[in-house]
Amino acid sequence: MNVIKTELDGVLIVEPRVFGDNRGWFMETYSKEKLAPLGVTVDFVQDNQSFSAQKGTLRGLHFQMHPKAQSKLLRCTHGAILDVAVDIRKGSPNYTKWVAVELSAENKRQLFIPAGFAHGFVTLTDDVEVQYKVDEYYAPDCDRSIRFDDPAIGVNWGIKAPILSKKDLGAPLLADSDCNFTYPA
């Protein structure tokens, strides 16, 4: 596996090794022992999958607060997404900074997003399947959204009127959120 650092410390692009042959291809999609020396040292406890029918669907920006904060390892197994991580740790030199990485079934890239970051993605094709591992169980009490178009963050999603859930439509700005991440942790 190859790991590429992003501008945000701790947010990593993971490129699995793909073995092609006359049948097709094979890859390890996750290996604890191969990823640990490269910076992914968390213990994943839950696997998630979502399907988005239409291009231009946006899920985010989401996070779980302490004490149920989550790290995530994401991949797109059908179609393509623009995957976004935002540093929302108060006091961080990168506070409100974001990175966007295209993940697709074709490029097989994964994005590791540590706790302390908000996450969201917009679909770049129809029929998008996203799969991800998380290192903390779903905890509705700690589950939070912030506005995808919060001007204090300014993510360039490349789309003006995305398809959103009711929850994401009514999400607060980061400044009005009860987000409790601090830097250093």
Residues that bind ligand TDO (CB under 6 A): 48, 50, 59-60, 62, 119-121, 138, 165, 167
Ranges assigned E (strand) in 97-169: 98-104, 110-113, 117-123, 128-134, 143-145
SS3 175: helix
Distance, CA of 72 to CA of 66 (rounded, Å): 15
Cβ-based neighbour number of residue 135 at 10 Å? 18
Cβ-based neighbour number of residue 73 at 10 Å? 22
Q: What are phi and psi of 37, to 5 degrees?
A: -65, -15
By C-beta, is 16 or 132 nearer to ligand TDO?
132
Report, in Å, the least distance between residue 43 CB and ligand TDO: 16
Note if 183 is an active site residue. Answer: no
Candidate list 66, 78, 132, 138, residue with the active-site label:
132
By C-beta, is 9 or 47 nearer to ligand TDO?
47
Report, in Å, the least distance between residue 100 CB and ligand TDO: 13
- Kindly write down the DSSP assignment for every residue of 3-46, as one continuous string: EEE-SSTT-EEEE--EEEETTEEEE-S--HHHHGGGT------E
Candidate list 30, 62, 66, 138, residue with the active-site label:
62
Which structure tokens are listed for 4? 């590429």
Note if 132 is an active site residue. Answer: yes
By C-beta, is 109 or 119 nearer to ligand TDO?
119
Report, in Å, the least distance between residue 20 CB and ligand TDO: 31
Residue nearest ligand TDO by beta-carbon distance: 138
By C-beta, is 30 or 34 nearer to ligand TDO?
30
Report, in Å, the least distance between residue 3 CB and ligand TDO: 20
Residues noted as catalytic: 62, 132
